[in-house]
Chain A
Amino acid sequence: MKTYIAQRLGIGLLTLLGMSIVIFGMLRLAPGDIVDILFSTGGYVNPVERVAIEKELGLDRPVWVQYLEWMRQILTGDLGKSYRYDLPAWEIIRPLIPVTLELAILSLIVSVALGVPLGVISAVRQDTPLDYALRVFSLAGLSMPSFWLGMVIILGLVAWIGWIPPVTYVSPSENFWLHAVQFALPSLAVGYRSSALIMRITRSSLLEVMREDYIRTARAKGQSGSVVIWRHALQNAILPVVTVIGIEFAFLIGGLVVTETVFNLPGLARFLVEAILWRDYPIVQNLVMFIAIVVIVSNLVVDMLYGFLDPRVRYGH
């Protein structure tokens, strides 16, 4: 298992190196840079001033020198300075991470708490009105973008009760209940969409397993329906679900942009888009690298969970 983890970590590092080249290259290929944006806020462009700012920010150096400088900064734990805010990138990124992580984890909890049981019920009650109703529920979740649902929630709340969750971030130490309220609605909006996917995967995977001989044998041996489903069937049907959960978590870290925007949560996904629009290279590069690390780690965790859940993987069969 240790060799396996070491191999995966090695592959992960190579992936990160590749990612760094892709991020760096793509950012430079996008038209315009921070200097254009700075002038845009002034409504004009002055070529002489432009050259001076490029020099000040180090954008006049060859691209490969800029890349090597970035790598050197990462290796020394210095993430550079935000072009826009003129502050250390880490100082800006650090407070954003817990917000997005919390929202992603809460959304995942909502999605698993809803998706797995409903998927099981739907599979067990296959082709009954309840199954149809749950399938419609999941299809609706897949069809409704979470930002749209978020906007509907906000507009519905303000229209019906004249209230919306706080639009300024409230930390748990400041006011725990207000914090919980602030995160509950976006988690539900995002979690609903993810739960729909998890529910459909759970249902189809469980239906497949329930047609296996060993399930029939377990029933024939007189085991109760719930034991058959929750102990024998679900344990074997859960692997694809775990894969989806891992992918969903990785997706959520970078994919919460619009939900964070709609609920005005100061997370890194929203900030990343802003940084891209500003061509704030140090912020974008480091945020994307952070997301890449989360994706690699969550995949690693999923792989390790495979080993835990499936003895065949654990023993290398």
Chain B
Amino acid sequence: MRRSRIVAAALSALAVLAAASLASAETPKSGGHLNLMQREDLSQGFAVHETSTIATSFPSMPCFNNLVVFDQTKRAETVENLVGELAEKWSWQDNYRNLVFFLRRNVKWHDGQPFTSKDVKFTFDMLREAPDAPAKLRINPRKDWYTNVEAIEAADPYTVVFRLKRPQPGLLVMLASGYTPIYAAHVNPAAYRTGCIGTGPFKMKEWRKGEFVDYVKNPDYFMKGRPYLDSLRYVVIKERGTRTAALQAGQLDVSFPGETTKTAAEQLKKAVPGLVITPVAQAVSDNIIMNTKKPPFDNLKVRLAVSYAIDRKALISAVHQGGAVPGASQQPKPYGVWGLLEKDLGTLPGYGKIEDMRAQARKLLAEAGITPQNPLKVEMSTRAIALYVDMASFVINELKQVGIEATLKQVETAQWHSMATRGDYQIGANLTGLGVDEPDANYYENYACGSPRNYSQYCSEEVMKMIEQQSQELNPQKRLALVAALQKKVEADAARPLLDWRLDYFTVWPYVKGMVPHDNIYNFGRMADVWRDK
């Protein structure tokens, strides 16, 4: 089994290399138009800083630029693959206490105003909610990312310094996320809910609500010769069957990130063998949230029993038809940088022989006073969306095998996050997307004491220390080891048992060139390098 997996991985690596060399051999052509799939209307317009949904970030990417970004032509999101966008160069100074960006000088906003360091300071002062910030976001989901930023100084119009409270090497990677574009200082942040003034390769032409977003090429884009395409249209199609049919019929040229399951990809390939399907990771995990502040899940033994009871491999096979991979709280290798190795993963709850795992779960439950005569009855909450319900139904069946009787409670989207943040639930089946493959973004957001997105309300002094320690570790190898220890610790505490990491089968028509999906759905789609060979 393991050998075949290695062979498969080697073959896919070869295929990627072959595709990459083939792509590099082709000369990009300018002109043309692409239709891209959009699963739902933009929830907050182009106000990327006020949302955490791919439905906003993906169709907004062509409008904006970051200081730095993950190379859009490379799949892996590593520090080595960071490239400058609005920043030409950058430099860590004072032992990783200061991060200095040297900005491009020939950049204009879509309304003709020049881009300067004032815009960078404006954006990040607003994000970190600095006392003297000139603007405030209506909602600010990633404020926690910037808690270590002490000040942002615009030394001159083309130099910006991020002064940090302590060293934080991971900050640079967080600035490369699709969720970290630079806003214009002269535009009210609220205006991004209805329109988009960016510096990106495409200018927003029209957003017809519930129908489409049209972009046209930005002729003043700072990268000469880019973008290649003349125009883009993101077509909103709510019905999944219609979306797939539109892609198959050629009315759409590019699928939506995270949209295509393994089964759908197989059907598409069968119907249109020429379609180019690339399996990539989504950076979206299935996980179990348990309210650690209320019985019975304030008891570690009960939480661990739940974690032991769920057969991850069976879940991947039954619910995802193989379109997911097991992993702990960081995306597993080779899709992520920080994931645990398979040998380490095997030691965690839920990864051994299922009979042994279930026996262990029953033993833990018995120690907690839960027996077949005195079974545990709980309510399993989940969002009333098929993606969630399928997973929850599977988990309920797994829990039944060890004597936990769970009933499914479907919660409407309007209620889900407020319910989870309030801790108004017992146990829940949840999905978590990581905006960037960086432990700081993950652990401060999902595991830190008091974080509103720490739905389990898990709080451990020891874990907080481990989070802080890894965050400021400058030696990459040492930091990797610290993050591995952290992953093991939160799984051992069943803080938020991870079940799997979802894969996407990103699909494009063969004439779409230069569109390289990443192992994270949130960080690609700038579209500057994409061209049409037709």
Q: Chain A residues in contact with chain B, CB under 8 A?
A: 31-33, 36-46, 49, 52-53, 56, 84-87, 92, 95, 151, 154-155, 157-159, 162-164, 166-169, 261-264, 266, 270-271, 274, 277, 279
Contact = CB atoms under 8 A, between A and B. Distances in A.
B194 A41 contact: no
Contact of A31 (B239, B414, B421): B414
B138 interface: yes
Interface stretch (B8-16, B103-111, B246-254, B328-336): B246-254
Given A163-B249, A164-B251, A169-B211, A40 B139 contact: no
Nearest to B212: A168
A32 B139 contact: no
Contacts of B193: 85-86
A86 B242 contact: no
B452 A85 contact: no
Contacts of A84: 43
B133 to A, nearest CB: 14
Contacts of B239: 151, 261-262, 264
Contacts of A270: 210, 238
Contact of A168 (B138, B141, B235): B235
B194 A86 contact: yes
A244 B132 CA distance: 65
10 contacts: A31-B415, A41-B51, A44-B141, A46-B139, A85-B45, A87-B194, A167-B237, A264-B242, A274-B41, A279-B414
Contact of B210 (A33, A271, A277): A271
Q: Identify which of A39, A87, A279 gathers the most chain B CB atoms within 10 Å of its CB.
A: A39
Nearest to A154: B245
Contacts of B452: 44-46
A266 B44 contact: no
B210 A38 contact: no
Q: Identify which of B41, B141, B210, B241 gathers the most chain A CB atoms within 10 Å of its CB.
A: B210
Given A38-B139, A261-B238, 10 more contacts: A40-B417, A45-B422, A45-B452, A85-B193, A158-B245, A158-B249, A164-B242, A261-B239, A264-B246, A266-B211
Nearest to A151: B241
A42 B421 CA distance: 12
Given A158-B245, A167-B237, A264-B239, A53 B139 contact: yes
A195 B149 CA distance: 67
Closest 7 CB pairs of A and B: A32-B414, A42-B141, A44-B452, A45-B421, A158-B245, A43-B52, A41-B51
Nearest to A161: B249
Given A87-B194, A154-B242, A164-B245, A41 B53 contact: yes
A87 B194 CA distance: 8
B194 A167 contact: no
A10 B413 CA distance: 41
A41 B210 contact: no
A38 B245 CA distance: 31
B419 to A, nearest CB: 9
Q: Classify chain B's interface size.
A: 35 or more
B138 A38 contact: yes
A42 B52 contact: yes
B66 interface: no
Contacts of B418: 32, 36, 39-40, 45
Contacts, number: 140
Interface of B: 41, 43-45, 50-53, 56, 138-141, 190, 193-194, 208-212, 233, 235, 237-239, 241-242, 245-246, 248-252, 271-272, 412-418, 421-422, 452-453
A166 B52 CA distance: 31
B342 to A, nearest CB: 30
Given A41-B43, A45-B422, A264-B242, A166 B140 contact: no
A52 B237 CA distance: 33
B183 to A, nearest CB: 16
A42 B209 contact: no
A107 B232 CA distance: 33
B195 to A, nearest CB: 10
A264 B194 contact: no
A269 B374 CA distance: 50
B360 to A, nearest CB: 33
Contacts of A159: 271
B249 A32 contact: no
B106 to A, nearest CB: 33
A44 B211 contact: no
A167 B56 CA distance: 20
B139 A42 contact: yes
B242 A166 contact: no
Contacts of A262: 239, 241-242
Given A42-B51, A42-B141, A166-B251, A37 B245 contact: no
A24 B248 CA distance: 43
B242 A49 contact: no
Contacts of A37: 413-414
Contacts of B43: 41, 84
A50 to B, nearest CB: 9
A85 B43 CA distance: 8
Contacts of B210: 266, 270-271, 274
Contacts of B246: 164, 167, 264
Contact of B414 (A33, A155, A168): A33
Contacts of A92: 209
Contacts of B138: 38, 49, 52-53, 56
A41 B249 contact: no
Contact of B249 (A43, A162, A277): A162
A84 B44 CA distance: 7
Contacts of B422: 45
A263 B239 CA distance: 9
Contacts of A261: 238-239, 242
A44 B414 contact: no
